[in-house]
Amino acid sequence: QKEVEQNSGPLSVPEGAIASLNCTYSDRGSQSFFWYRQYSGKSPELIMFIYSNGDKEDGRFTAQLNKASQYVSLLIRDSQPSDSATYLCAVLFSGGYNKLIFGAGTRLAVHP
Amino acid sequence: SAVISQKPSRDICQRGTSLTIQCQVDSQVTMMFWYRQQPGQSLTLIATANQGSEATYESGFVIDKFPISRPNLTFSTLTVSNMSPEDSSIYLCSVDLRGVLETQYFGPGTRLLVL
pLDDT digits (tens, 9 = 90+) for A78-110: 999 999 999 999 998 877 666 888 999 999 999
Region of A6 (left: φ > 0; alpha: ψ -120 to 50; beta: rest) is beta
Cis peptide before A112 (omega within 30 of 0): no
Which chain B residue's Cα is nearest to A91? B101
What residues in A contact B101, CB-CB < 8 Å? Answer: 32, 34, 49, 92, 98, 100
Q: Do A100 and B101 touch (CB under 8 A)?
A: yes
Q: Cβ contacts (< 8 Å) between A45 and chain B: which residues?
A: 106
Q: With H, G, I as helix, E, B as strand and everything else as coil, classify residue A89.
A: strand
Q: What percent of chain B has pLDDT over 70?
A: 95
Q: E-strand spans in B38-109? A: 43-50, 56-57, 68-72, 75-80, 89-96, 104-106
- Beta-bridged to residue B82, according to DSSP, are none
pLDDT value for A24? 96
Using an 8 Å Cβ cutoff, are A109 and A80 in contact? no
Tell me the pLDDT of chain B averaged across its residues: 91
Which of B53, B42, B58, B39 shows the shortest CA–CA distance to B106?
B42
pLDDT of residue B52: 79
Please determine, for residue A1, whether its predicted confidence score (pLDDT) is greater than 60.
Answer: no
Length reported for chain B: 115
The residues on A that touch B, with CB distances below 8 Å, are 32, 34, 42-46, 49, 88, 92, 97-105
| Closest A-chain CA to B43 | A102
Decide if A32 and B31 are in contact by the 8 Å CB cutoff: no
Give the chain A residue nearest B39 (alpha carbons): A41
pLDDT at B70: 93
Cα–Cα distance for residue pair B89/B67, rounded to 1 Å: 17
What is the rounded distance in angstroms from the CA atom of residue B51 to the CA atom of residue B46?
16
Chain centroid offset of residue A6 CA: 8
Picking from B32, B71, B30, the residue whose alpha carbon sits closest to that of residue B48 is B32
In tens, the pLDDT along B38-72 reads 987 889 999 999 887 889 999 999 999 999 999 99
Which one of B31, B42, B106 has the shortest CB-CB distance to A105?
A: B42
Q: Do B48 and A98 touch (CB under 8 A)?
A: yes
pLDDT reported for residue A21: 97
Find the range with the poorest average confidence among B54-63, B85-94, B101-110: B101-110
